[in-house]
Amino acid sequence: MEFITIVLSGILIGAGTYLILSKSVLRIIIGLSVLSHGIHLMLLTMGQLKRGNVPILEDSVTNYTDPLPQAMILTAIVISFALTAFSLVLALRNYKVLGSDDTETMKGAQNEN
């Protein structure tokens, strides 16, 4: 299973990269989201998968999955959400001011002169 998730997260990261390299701001933000999905999956895989029970203490269970990567991913999800939300609003604002979501046309437009 880990082999498959590693390959899948690699594909997600690659696809994210491809989207980030495009011209449209919205596609860049989508790419950012895809990239962070890939990284979350990679993080989880590194802590090994399916090796025991849900990490909630019960008397009868001795074997749990690793709780530490889960805590880290939780933090990462929230932060990447904050980032995505902010960049989306920024893109919106940018579009309203410049009338374009093409990064190529943004060059030099923001100069204050």
Partner 1 sequence: MTFIHFAIILPLIAAFLIAIINKYVKGIHLGWFVLPIPFIIVSYLFTLIPTIRNGETLLLNLNFMPRIGMNFDVYIDGLGLLFAILISGIGTLVVLYSIGYLSNKEKLLNFYIYLLMFMTAMLGVVLLDNVLMLYLFWELTSISSFLLIAFWTTKERSTYGAQKSMIITMFGGFMMLGGFILLSNLTGTFSIREMIIASDSVVGVGAGTLAVVLVLLGAFTKSAQFPFYVWLPDAMEAPTPVSAYLHSATMVKAGLYLVARFTPVFMLSTTWVWTILIVGLITLCWASFNAFIKDDLKAVLAFSTVSQLGLIMSLLGISGLAIVRGANEQIFTVAVVAAVFHIINHATFKGALFMVTGIIDHQTGTRSIKKLGGLMTIMPITFTMTLITSLSMAGIPPFNGFLSKEMFLEAMFEISNSNFSSLASVGFLFPLLAILGSIFTLLYSVKIVMQVFLGEDKKETPKQPKEASALLLISPAILSFLVVLFGLVPNLLTKSIIDPAAMSIINAVEPLNTKISHWHGFDSPALWATVVIILVGATLYYFRDTWIFIYKYIRSNYTINYLYDQGLNYSTIYSNRFTKMVMTGFLRTYMVYIFGFLVVLGLITIIKTGLNLDLSNLAPIGIQDMILVGVILTALLIIMITKSRMVSIIMLGAVGFSMALFFVFFRAPDLALTQLAIETVTTTLFLVCFYHLPKQSKLPEHRKFKLTNFVVAVGVGAVSILIGLSAFSNRLFESISQYHVDHVYDLAAGKNMVNVILVDFRGYDTVFETLVFGIAGIGIYILMRLSINRKDDKNEERAEESRL
Residues 42-61 that bind partner 1 (CB under 8 A): 42, 44-58
| Count of residues making up the chain | 113
Size of the site for partner 1 (CB under 8 A): 86
CB of 54 to partner 1, least distance (A): 5
68 binds partner 1 (CB under 8 A): yes
Cβ burial 41-72 (10 Å sphere, 16+ → b, else e): bbbbbeeeeeeeeeeeeeeeeeeebeeebeee
89 binds partner 1 (CB under 8 A): yes
How far CA 60 is from CA of 52, 53, 63, 95, in Å, comes to 12, 11, 10, 57
CB of 68 to partner 1, least distance (A): 5
Residues within window 1-40 making contact with partner 1, judged by CB under 8 A = 1-15, 17-24, 26-30, 33-34, 37-38, 40
108 binds partner 1 (CB under 8 A): yes
* Residue 65 near residue 53, CB atoms below 8 Å: yes
CB of 107 to partner 1, least distance (A): 5
Residue 23 tokens read as: 């011209």
